[in-house]
């Protein structure tokens, strides 16, 4: 247990952010540019447990639903209690102080009473939550139902992974250092880590990139091992023309260039995100042609020369990386999946025209929903006579479900018959 003199301030700031997310705003857009670890823990931890915390407040509130900001404060305070990072009395006292910082002075007594009621009646509340799927699994009901149908033997593990803290994975730049050498360097710093195939290293505990030896000089990057599958599955050869569609902020582009001497075009529709690609590549001593453009409208940016390899890392629900984007599971709706699938199919159709005969396209999502993955791929191949699905080079299945080592990703490699 530890006491923090700034806990009330952190609870107040986290409550404002969580309140705006609950109203429909993106968490990424609400977090300040300078992100304190405690604030990230409060916001992300609260949103990972959002369904559970909502249910607790609803069960304990005797006067109906409170003011939105007070409700968000209660969610954050309950998460702080459950995380056990502070003494219980400290969380209660600091939450009451936070009411004043939020200019919700009349709510002080209510917040104090509700938090103490939770601590007093916790066993009975826990038993009740076990009977409510959204509270137990901390995901929307429609999300739970899709996963239960798609993965009868694994759906609970997928949901549990979505509520966990994500692992911190590194990708070693083999142009500058070998993975075993870099792992030994980490060990010399007292940083526990293990190899995870290829260029991936998993840290036992996350830490700031400033503490990573060689990060500033391009020896290593932060990238989930699941995301690192993409470059390995593209069957890259030196001299190829490669397109990374939807490339920002450039992690997969960098990995492609680390593995092979190719002429890479990195494309993204978002100018602000695309602006991050070149600096990220320069840190690694790499270069690509960066274009701001819509992958579904190549006539606006394509030079007419076909590509040998295309990475179609398409927009999706982000259901496979929801522990990194905990707001997504509460902002998404079941009806969004049809819109994502339509966009994904449009991107596939457009990018297929840019692929050279004999070339290969890797379709990629960070989703675990079949509606965005196999369903889109199977419909595309059924309607495109020149498309033939290939086995992935690593021999692993197309769908990687999230677990303790990596996030959830889907990959499908398609060859264009000459």
Helix (H) or strand (E) holding 39: helix 37-48
Report the candidate in 47, 39, 117, 42 with the shortest Cα–Cα distance to residue 80: 42
- As a whole-number percent, the residues of the chain with pLDDT over 90 amount to 91
Structure tokens at 60: 């304990």
Q: What is the pLDDT of residues 166-176, one digit of tens each?
A: 999 999 999 99
Superfamily of domain 168-222: Sun protein; domain 3 (3.30.70.1170)
Q: By three-state DSSP, how is residue 416 classified?
A: strand
Helix (H) or strand (E) holding 88: helix 88-101
pTM over 0.85? The answer is yes
Q: Which of 99, 233, 316, 366 is catalytic?
A: 366
Q: Terminal CA-to-CA distance of the chain, rounded, Å?
A: 65
pLDDT at 203 over 60: yes
What span, in angstroms and rounded, lies between the C-alpha atoms of 366 and 373?
A: 10
Question: Right CATH number for 229-416 from 3.40.50.150, 3.40.50.970, 3.90.1480.20, 3.20.20.70?
Answer: 3.40.50.150
Superfamily of domain 7-137: NusB-like (1.10.940.10)
Burial label for 253, CB within 10 Å (0-12, 13-18, 19+), is buried
Phi, psi at 93, each rounded to 5° = -60, -45
Helices 141-150, 155-163: axis angle to 10 degrees equals: 140
Q: CA Rg, the chain, in Å?
A: 23
What span, in angstroms and rounded, lies between the C-alpha atoms of 271 and 290?
A: 10
Taking all residues of the chain, what is their mean pLDDT, rounded to a whole number? 94
Which string of DSSP letters, residue by residue, matches 237-280? -TT-EEEEET-TT-HHHHHHHHH---EEEEEES-HHHHTTHHHH
Q: What is the dihedral of CA 53, 54, 60, 66, to 10 degrees?
A: 120
Q: Answer for the pair 327, 26: CB distance below 8 angstroms, yes or no.
A: yes
pLDDT at 387: 97
Helices 88-101, 108-120: axis angle to 10 degrees equals: 160
- As a whole-number percent, the residues of the chain with pLDDT over 70 amount to 98
pLDDT at 355: 98
pLDDT at 138: 92
Average pLDDT over residues 261-276: 97
pLDDT at 220: 97
Average pLDDT over residues 228-244: 97
Instruction: Verify whether residue 99 is a known catalytic residue.
Output: no
pLDDT at 5: 52
Instruction: Give the torsion sign (CA, 16, 18, 23, 26).
Output: positive
pLDDT at 221 over 80: yes
Q: What is the pLDDT of residues 90-138, one digit of tens each?
A: 999 999 999 999 999 999 999 999 999 999 999 999 999 999 999 999 9
pLDDT-wise least confident of 29-43, 191-205, 210-224, 240-254: 29-43
What span, in angstroms and rounded, lies between the C-alpha atoms of 403 and 188?
A: 28
Instruction: Kindly report the length of the chain.
Output: 418
CATH 3.40.50.150 in the chain, residues? 229-416
pLDDT at 2 over 60: no
What span, in angstroms and rounded, lies between the C-alpha atoms of 384 and 389?
A: 11
Phi, psi at 153, each rounded to 5° = -95, -10
pLDDT at 224 over 80: yes
Hey, how many other C-beta atoms are within 10 angstroms of the C-beta on 115? 23
Q: What is the pLDDT of residues 138-162, one digit of tens each?
A: 999 999 999 999 999 999 999 999 9
Helix (H) or strand (E) holding 41: helix 37-48
pLDDT at 34 over 60: no
pLDDT at 252 over 50: yes
pLDDT at 33: 54
Q: Answer for the pair 259, 236: CB distance below 8 angstroms, yes or no.
A: yes
pLDDT at 62: 79
CATH 3.30.70.1170 in the chain, residues? 168-222
pLDDT at 63 over 60: yes
Q: In which region does residue 37 sit, left (phi positive, over 0), alpha (psi from -120 to 50) or beta (all else)?
A: alpha
pLDDT at 380 over 80: yes
Burial label for 353, CB within 10 Å (0-12, 13-18, 19+), is exposed
């Amino acid at each position: 247990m530890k006491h923090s003199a700034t806990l009330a301030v952190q609870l107040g700031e986290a409550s404002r952010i969580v309140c705006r997310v609950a109203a429909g705003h993106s968490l990424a857009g609400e977090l300040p540019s300078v992100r304190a670890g405690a604030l990230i823990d409060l916001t992300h931890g609260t949103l990972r447990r959002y369904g559970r915390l909502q249910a607790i407040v609803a069960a304990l509130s005797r006067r109906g639903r409170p003011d939105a900001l007070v409700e968000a404060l209660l969610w954050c305070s309950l998460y702080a209690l459950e995380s056990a990072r502070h003494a219980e009395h400290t969380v209660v006292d600091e939450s009451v102080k936070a009411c004043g910082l939020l200019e919700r002075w009349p709510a002080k007594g209510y917040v104090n009473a509700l938090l103490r009621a939770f601590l007093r009646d916790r066993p009975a509340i826990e038993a009740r939550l076990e009977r409510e799927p959204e509270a137990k699994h901390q995901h929307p009901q429609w999300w739970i139902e899709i996963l239960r149908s798609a993965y009868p033997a694994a759906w609970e593990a997928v949901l549990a992974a979505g509520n966990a803290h994500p692992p911190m994975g590194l990708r070693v730049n083999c142009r500058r250092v070998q993975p075993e050498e870099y792992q030994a360097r980490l060990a010399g710093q007292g940083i526990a880590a293990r190899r995870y195939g290829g260029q991936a290293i998993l840290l036992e505990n996350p830490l700031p990139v400033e503490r990573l030896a060689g990060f500033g000089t391009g020896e290593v990057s932060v990238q989930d091992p699941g995301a690192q599958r993409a470059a390995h599955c593209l069957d890259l050869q030196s001299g190829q023309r490669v397109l990374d569609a939807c490339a920002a902020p450039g992690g997969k582009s960098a990995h492609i260039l680390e593995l092979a001497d190719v002429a890479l075009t990195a494309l993204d529709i978002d100018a602000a995100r695309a602006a991050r690609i070149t600096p990220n590549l320069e840190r690694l001593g790499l270069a690509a042609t960066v274009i701001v453009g819509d992958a579904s409208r190549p006539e606006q940016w394509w030079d007419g020369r076909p590509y040998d390899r295309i990475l179609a890392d398409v927009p999706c629900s982000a259901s496979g990386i929801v522990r990194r984007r905990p707001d997504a599971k509460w902002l998404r709706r079941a009806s969004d999946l049809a819109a994502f699938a339509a966009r994904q199919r449009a991107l596939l159709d457009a990018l297929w025209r840019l692929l050279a005969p004999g070339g290969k396209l890797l379709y990629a999502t960070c989703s675990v929903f079949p509606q965005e993955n196999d369903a889109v791929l199977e419909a595309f191949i059924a309607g495109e006579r020149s498309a033939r699905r290939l086995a992935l080079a690593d021999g692993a299945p197309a769908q990687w479900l999230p677990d303790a080592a990596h996030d959830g990703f889907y990959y499908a490699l398609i060859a264009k018959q000459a």
